[in-house]
């Protein structure tokens, strides 16, 4: 496996050189941007930490729990209210709820069926799913099934609002009134003719995605198929989804989010200090703060989802296994790999998914193994803990071949496009333009394969709706000169819908635009950047 050299990672753009020469105080602020702890709010604007997170830390006021004192909750699987020959029908109510996240305090969440995360939906390839969402929240919502190939009317376009059942007297923002609104409820139709994968659903309301996901509007949607069923991978109670994110808490236990308009009604955006992203000082896994999970000395499959607004994680096991890799990756964002990939650590940006197997037979019974974040020190370096409590029979395995995988060669592409993600005049832009729902920035043909070159001077996780892609290469752009190289890096195997573009880097992806004609978006999945217009339209024609 090829790896980037240290010298390659240390190259800087002209802008970075000038910024670093500007004074030591700025450099000192980088360390606090991703730290953990309990104290006052961050007082400085967020800065991009090399190979880490982009944003400013907001420190909790409430007392925080001791790590690894809370059992890991597993989101319940939602059952269909009815089924017919082709379709399963589900119902979800978006409503406020109360969660016991901190000791002695209740945190109000906005949840799917009042829970955070929402219930897990499990469907099979080729069976249509219809999910009726009823909005009992005080604000409009939009639902996006992230990673799904979905007709445009059901994809969760950010201006296609579902208004509250009790009515809505607030504004829609400058752009949101241009969409197709539904009063009280909407049925989302998902054909789901795609391979087994770990998808997730979350809010996608224009200008307010960041605070509404932060408040709890996220959940898993797992697609299964016969090819996955035939593999001897861990199943049942040893197939566990892990939704990882960070949050901060007010004195009364409420989520702290620096919205300009705390009611999320009319004026979007965050206060100036947090324009680069909002970082919390508590790691949550499936809605619990630094939880633990009792495991047997067997293999487990974990579906890792980074559902943070802005934080990036470098996940590792402490202690590492005495033999064998820490993680065996079997799947990426939107499907299983052709063959497994071994990792000692995993770098996962916002919205990315890694489907991995951990073999706890490498540890003696009684061992406590911590899932850690190597990007930071202190409290935020801890994510969750596994307790190896007993022996058990294990008939699972990770075969050397998983599923048929079709690599896309460069020669398959008929069009090459370039997109530059940048901050200009305090705006987040793509090719120098903020989002405009009425402007189309690319028109790929249905069934076409295209190469997109995405470059940035800051860190951005870039997500394409509808189109799945493979990463061809990534490389530094030095003073505006350079290309993507031919190495996708160790964390970009398989089919993806989100790719992390680091500071001063160009990433080259090859995407297939099959499925449906219509208008879709691509955007930064740092949710504060997305809400501040780092989004663009493409129309499949």
Mean pLDDT of the 18-26 span: 32
Helix then strand then coil, in percent of the chain rounded to 5, is 10, 40, 50
Q: What is the DSSP string of 84-144?
A: -SSEEEEEEEEEEEEE--STT--EEEEEETTBSSPPBEEEETTSEEEEEEEE-SSS-B-EE
Residue 203 has pLDDT above 60, yes or no: yes
Split at pLDDT 50, 70, 90, the class of 11 is very low
Are both 350 and 476 inside the same structural domain? Answer: no
Residue 13 has pLDDT above 90, yes or no: no
Residue 294 has pLDDT above 50, yes or no: yes
Establish if 329 belongs to a structural domain.
yes
Domain total in the chain: 4
Helix (H, G, I), strand (E, B) or coil at 471: strand
pLDDT in tens, 217-226: 999 999 999 9
Can you give the pLDDT at residue 426? 76
Can you give the pLDDT at residue 485? 65
Are both 107 and 36 inside the same structural domain? Answer: no
Mean pLDDT of the 340-369 span: 98
Can you give the pLDDT at residue 172? 59
Establish if 64 belongs to a structural domain.
no
User: Which three-class secondary structure string do you get for 341-381?
Assistant: EEECCEEECCCCEEEEEEEHHHCCCCCEEEEEECCCCHHHH
pLDDT in tens, 141-152: 999 999 999 999
Residue 47 has pLDDT above 50, yes or no: no
Taking phi over 0 as left and psi of -120 to 50 as alpha, with beta for the rest, 37 belongs to left
Are both 91 and 153 inside the same structural domain? Answer: yes
Are both 188 and 97 inside the same structural domain? Answer: yes
Residue 8 has pLDDT above 70, yes or no: no
Are both 12 and 47 inside the same structural domain? Answer: yes
Tell which residue, 535, 272, 522, has the closest CA to residue 428.
Answer: 535
Split at pLDDT 50, 70, 90, the class of 482 is low
Residue 85 has pLDDT above 90, yes or no: yes
35-44, 172-181, 200-209: which is most confident: 200-209
Residue 135 has pLDDT above 90, yes or no: yes
Domain that holds residue 477: 410-540
Average pLDDT, the chain: 89
Establish if 169 belongs to a structural domain.
yes
Mean pLDDT of the 5-19 span: 30
Q: Which residues contact 447 (CB under 8 A, 6 or more apart)?
A: 512, 513, 514
Establish if 254 belongs to a structural domain.
no
Are both 87 and 172 inside the same structural domain? Answer: yes
Residue 176 has pLDDT above 60, yes or no: no
Establish if 145 belongs to a structural domain.
yes
């Amino acid at each position: 496996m090829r790896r980037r050299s240290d010298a390659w990672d240390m190259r800087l753009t002209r802008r970075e050189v000038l910024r670093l020469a500007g004074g030591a105080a700025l450099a000192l602020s980088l360390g606090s941007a991703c730290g953990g702890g309990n104290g006052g709010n961050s007082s400085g604007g967020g800065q991009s930490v090399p190979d880490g997170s982009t944003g400013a830390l907001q420190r909790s006021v409430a007392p925080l729990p001791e790590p690894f004192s809370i059992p890991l909750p597993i989101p319940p699987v939602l059952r269909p209210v009815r089924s017919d020959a082709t379709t399963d029908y589900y119902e979800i109510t978006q409503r406020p709820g109360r969660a016991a996240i901190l000791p002695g305090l209740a945190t109000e969440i906005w949840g799917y069926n009042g829970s955070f995360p929402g219930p897990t939906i499990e469907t099979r390839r080729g069976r249509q799913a219809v999910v009726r969402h009823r909005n009992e929240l005080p604000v409009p919502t939009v639902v996006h099934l992230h990673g799904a190939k979905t007709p445009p009317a059901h994809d969760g376009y950010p201006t296609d609002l579902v208004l509250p059942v009790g009515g809505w007297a607030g504004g829609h923002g400058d752009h949101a009134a241009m969409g197709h609104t539904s009063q009280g409820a909407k049925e989302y139709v998902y054909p789901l003719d795609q391979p087994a994968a770990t998808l997730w659903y979350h809010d996608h309301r224009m200008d307010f995605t960041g605070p509404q996901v932060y408040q709890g509007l996220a959940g898993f949607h797992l697609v299964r198929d016969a090819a996955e069923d035939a593999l001897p991978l861990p199943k049942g109670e040893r197939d566990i989804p892990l939704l990882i994110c960070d949050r901060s808490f007010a004195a009364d236990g409420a989520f702290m989010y620096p919205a300009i308009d705390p009611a999320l009604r009319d004026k979007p955006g965050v206060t100036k200090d947090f324009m680069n992203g909002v970082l919390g000082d508590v790691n949550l896994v499936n809605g619990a703060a630094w939880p633990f999970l009792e495991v047997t000395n067997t293999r487990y499959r974990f579906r890792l989802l980074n559902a943070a607004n802005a934080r990036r994680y470098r996940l590792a096991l402490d202690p590492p296994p005495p033999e064998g890799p820490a993680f065996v990756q079997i799947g990426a964002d939107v499907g299983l790999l052709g063959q497994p990939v071994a990792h000692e650590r995993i770098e996962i940006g916002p919205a990315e998914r890694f489907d991995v197997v951990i073999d706890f037979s490498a540890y003696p019974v009684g061992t406590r193994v911590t899932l850690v974040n190597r990007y930071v020190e202190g409290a935020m370096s801890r994510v969750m803990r596994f307790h190896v409590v007993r022996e058990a029979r294990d008939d699972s395995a990770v075969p050397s071949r998983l599923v048929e995988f079709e690599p896309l060669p460069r020669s398959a592409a008929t069009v090459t496009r370039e997109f530059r993600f940048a901050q200009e005049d305090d705006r987040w832009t793509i090719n120098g333009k903020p989002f405009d729902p009425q402007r189309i920035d690319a028109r790929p043909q249905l069934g076409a394969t295209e190469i997109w070159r995405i470059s940035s001077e800051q860190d951005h996780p870039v997500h394409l709706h509808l189109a799945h892609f493979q990463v061809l290469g990534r490389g530094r752009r030095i003073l505006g000169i350079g290309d993507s190289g031919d190495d996708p890096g160790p964390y970009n195997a398989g089919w993806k819908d989100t790719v992390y573009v680091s500071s001063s880097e160009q990433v080259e992806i090859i995407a297939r635009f099959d499925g449906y004609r219509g208008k879709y978006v691509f955007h930064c999945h740092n949710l504060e950047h997305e809400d501040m217009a780092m989004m663009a339209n493409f129309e499949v024609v």
